[in-house]
Structure 1
């Protein structure tokens, strides 16, 4: 890999790791979303405020998955492994996709009507999504010639 690709992947890993502790949507952090919520869907009787108000343990929340993704991208930056980089990017895209699918499945009307207020100040989502997208673009850069 080229040197600036290593640096970009390192910056992306830091951005993804910091994004794990920021708000994803509205008042919901990655620590508030349990892995059971992603697997089974959000409970029908809970609102976005209730989900944002209850914090799950770190080991059973989305934050640990995001931190593992950041670690994979960091290892790809340190060792120059495109395979690890692609693994981290694909896992990040999968996490973003499943989170968007589950949120849309349960809160679609609220997200459509109030999306500006919900996405205002969602810097955790911006760091997570931006880090994954920039890592994706940087992995598409060809290797330098020998």
Structure 2
């Protein structure tokens, strides 16, 4: 990889790690969302504010998945592995897509009518999502070309 791609992926991984602890939607943070809720669907008996008030163990929350994605991108930046970079970025996009799908499935009407209020102050979503997009664009940069070996002149 090119040097600026390494540096950009490194910065994106740090920003993704910070964004994993911020609010994603309203007062909902990644540490409030259980992985089982992403798999099975969000509970129907709770509202968005009640869901944000739930205390979940860290190792069972979405925050762990987001931090693992950031760690994989960081490892890709440090080792220069494009495969690890793509793996981290695609996993981050998948995690955000599943969260969006489950939130839309459960809180469709509220998201449609109150989206301006819910998306104001969600710096965690902006940091994590923005850094994921920038990392995706950085991985699309072509590799450096190898210099051709000079052949000895024939006399």
| TM bin (shorter chain) | over 0.9
Any idea what SS the aligned residue of 2:90 has? helix
Q: How many angstroms does 1:55 deviate by?
A: 2.0
Q: Please show how residues 127-138 of structure 1 align to structure 2 within 5 Å.
A: 127-138=127-138
Partner of 1:95: 95
Across the two proteins, how many residue pairs are aligned to each other?
146
Partner of 1:73: 73
String of CA shifts for 1:59-95, please: whole Å, max 9, x gaps. Answer: 0000000010000000000000000000001101100
Q: Matched residues in 1 for 2:92 and 2:57: separation?
A: 21
Q: Matched residues in 1 for 2:54 and 2:96: separation?
A: 21
Higher Cα radius of gyration: 2
Q: How many angstroms does 1:145 deviate by?
A: 1.3
Q: Matched residues in 1 for 2:21 and 2:137: separation?
A: 24
After TM superposition, the runs of 4+ consecutive aligned structure 1 residues lying more than 3 A away are none
Q: CA RMSD in A?
A: 0.5
Q: How many angstroms does 1:9 deviate by?
A: 0.3
Q: Matched residues in 1 for 2:11 and 2:27: separation?
A: 26
Q: Matched residues in 2 for 1:67 and 1:92: separation?
A: 9
Any idea what SS the aligned residue of 2:31 has? coil
Any idea what SS the aligned residue of 1:31 has? helix
Q: Does 1:50 align with 2:31?
A: no
Q: Does 1:110 align with 2:110?
A: yes
Any idea what SS the aligned residue of 1:46 has? coil
Q: Matched residues in 2 for 1:50 and 1:120: separation?
A: 19
Q: Matched residues in 1 for 2:26 and 2:73: separation?
A: 27
Q: How many angstroms does 1:47 deviate by?
A: 0.3
